[in-house]
Amino acid sequence: MTEVDYYELLECERTADAGTIKSSYRKLAMKYHPDKNAGCKDSEAKFKAVSEAYDCLKDPQKRAAYDRFGHAAFRNGGGGAGAQDFGGFSDIFESVFGEFMGGGRGGGGRQQVRRGADLRYDMEITLEEAYHGKETEITVDISAPCDGCQGTGARPGTHAHACTTCNGHGKVRAQQGFFVVERACPHCHGSGQVISDPCPDCRGEGRVEKTKTLAVNVPPGVDEGTRVRLTGEGEAGARGAPPGDLYIFLHVKRHALFEREGTTLFARAPVSFTTAALGGTLSIPGLDGKRHEVKIPAGIQSGKQLKQRGAGMPVLQGRGYGDLVIQVEVETPTKLTTKQRALLEEFRETETGEECPQSQGFFSRLKTAFAGE
């Protein structure tokens, strides 16, 4: 399942401080608030999403858990006050902070379970693929649970036993003056278990290097730098510990016609000076596969922008589309036939200056500026 990163929803970097996150949330909440977008389901969904993201990231404890475990931190009732399942927020909080608190709920001193590392994969897509979305497969080399021992690290038919040095806690304590210092057990390296007969396939690690083919669903509307998370597809944890996640960072190729800013598409369109003077219609092929007819008003000037509503990029994780903005660039002809030149000469003979008020105004101001010289 594709899950949008909380930092991405709030348009913040992962290193952003609390003030930056709060400021970004307020701006987005005001933009998508239902009172300002009455009846718009997309804005309502976006408002709920950014509110959920801010509710997590504004709390230092929840944010620490999210930074380490992602959305998995709040599954299985993890956000509730009475959560007891492993993987819930109370266990994750203990995993993040327990080593500074005597180890484990109630000082029980159970060993820390270290999940596998998160991994990164960079994928390049076209603007058309960003518009329509994409279902594809990728091949990655990662550490995966060992099939021989099912990830336990012990030879099949045997099992690990509790470390006698730390009594299975994974930690040992030493008195130093008035203080008691707790550190990882040097014998079992903090795992709390010792494997006397390791698996020959993984040498007791419980994981081996494998090549995996994974299905990736790129949702419509993604942008440069969007992260797609594949939960549990990162590096396998040692000896049966939970795996990390795989983050796919998307990079959108430069398009031959369109430039993008959010959900808005921009295009520059050269227009002949006769069309600019007399008006006409410009036909633009859209990313949706349709041709969009844009009306050019008579007398349009170079640099003028024309907007085609709903012809831009789709809204990520929502409904609706942005706009297509066409910037008109009036092109002066460089190759004229004899007849065309004659017609233009005839037109010039009839000019009064009223045809081009901007030029007339400029030369009037120029004449006034230098009248005293």
Higher pLDDT, 356 or 12: 12
Question: Looking at the predicted structure, is the pLDDT value of residue 235 above 70?
Answer: yes
DSSP per position, 154-207: BPTT---EE-TTTTTSSEEEEEETTEEEEEE-TTTTTSSEE-SSB-TTTTTSSE
In a domain, residue 91? The reply is: no
| Residues 264 and 315 grouped into a single domain | yes
Whether the Cβ atoms of residue 171 and residue 184 lie closer than 8 Å to each other: yes
Residues 215 and 299 in one domain: no
- 12 annotated to a ligand binding site: no
Q: What is the mean pLDDT of residues 138-148?
A: 89
Are 161 and 153 in contact, with CB atoms under 8 Å apart? no
- For 268-301, the pLDDT digits (tens) are 999 999 999 999 999 999 999 999 999 999 999 9
Domain identity same for 313 and 217? no
Q: What is the pLDDT of residue 96?
A: 42
Mark whether 186 and 264 lie in a shared domain: no
User: Is 56 annotated for ligand binding?
Assistant: no
Confirm whether 12 is domain-assigned: no
> Residue 336 belongs to what domain range?
259-369
Q: How many CB atoms lie within 10 A of CB 349?
A: 7
Residue 206 has pLDDT above 60, yes or no: yes
356 is in an annotated binding site: no
Q: What is the pLDDT of residue 372?
A: 54
Question: In angstroms, rounded to a whole number, what is the distance separating the alpha carbons of residues 364 and 369?
Answer: 9
**Residue 3 within any structural domain of the chain:** no
Average pLDDT over residues 245-267: 94
Domain assignment present for residue 46? The answer is: no
pLDDT confidence of residue 90:
41
Q: Is residue 267 part of a domain?
A: yes
Judged against a pLDDT cut of 80, whether residue 364 lies above it is answered with no
pLDDT-wise least confident of 49-53, 165-169, 179-183: 179-183
Alpha-carbon dihedral 222, 223, 229, 235, rounded to 10 degrees: 140
pLDDT for 362 beyond 60 = no
Gap between the Cα atoms of 247 and 227, Å rounded: 6
Q: Are residues 119 and 219 in the same domain?
A: yes
Long-range contacts formed by 79-82: CB under 8 A, 24+ apart: none
């266990």: which residue's tokens?
91
355 located within any domain: yes
163 is in an annotated binding site: yes
Domains contained in the chain, number: 3
CATH code of 326's domain: 2.60.260.20
Given 231, 253, 275, which residue is the final one in a domain?
253
Q: For residue 7, tell me if it sits in a domain.
A: no
Taking CA atoms, 298 is separated from 197, 219, 273, 304, in Å, by 86, 41, 10, 12
Q: Are residues 309 and 285 in the same domain?
A: yes
Q: Averaged over 301-311, what is the pLDDT?
A: 93
Give pLDDT tens digits for 69-122. Answer: 777 777 654 443 333 333 344 444 444 444 333 344 334 444 455 788 899 999
**What average pLDDT does the chain have?**
82
Taking residues 19-37, report their average pLDDT.
86
Fill in the DSSP letter of residue 103: S
Query: Same structural domain for residues 169 and 265?
Result: no
Whether residue 212 is found in the same domain as residue 148: yes
Sign for the CA dihedral angle at 154, 156, 161, 165 comes to negative
40 assigned ligand-binding residue: no
How far is it, in rounded angstroms, from Cα 238 to Cα 10?
34
Residue % of the chain over a pLDDT of 90: 36
Position 45 in a domain: no
Q: Are residues 211 and 289 in the same domain?
A: no
Contact call for residues 144 and 207 (beta carbons, < 8 A): yes
Is 146 annotated as contributing to ligand binding? yes
State residue 92's pLDDT score: 41
pLDDT value of residue 281: 93
The model carries a pTM of 0.58
Residues 134 and 178 in one domain: no
pLDDT band at 177 (very low <50, low <70, confident <90, very high): low
Answer yes or no: do 276 and 361 share one domain.
yes
Q: Which residue has the higher pLDDT, 163 or 94?
A: 163
Same domain, 143 and 246: yes
pLDDT of residue 75: 63
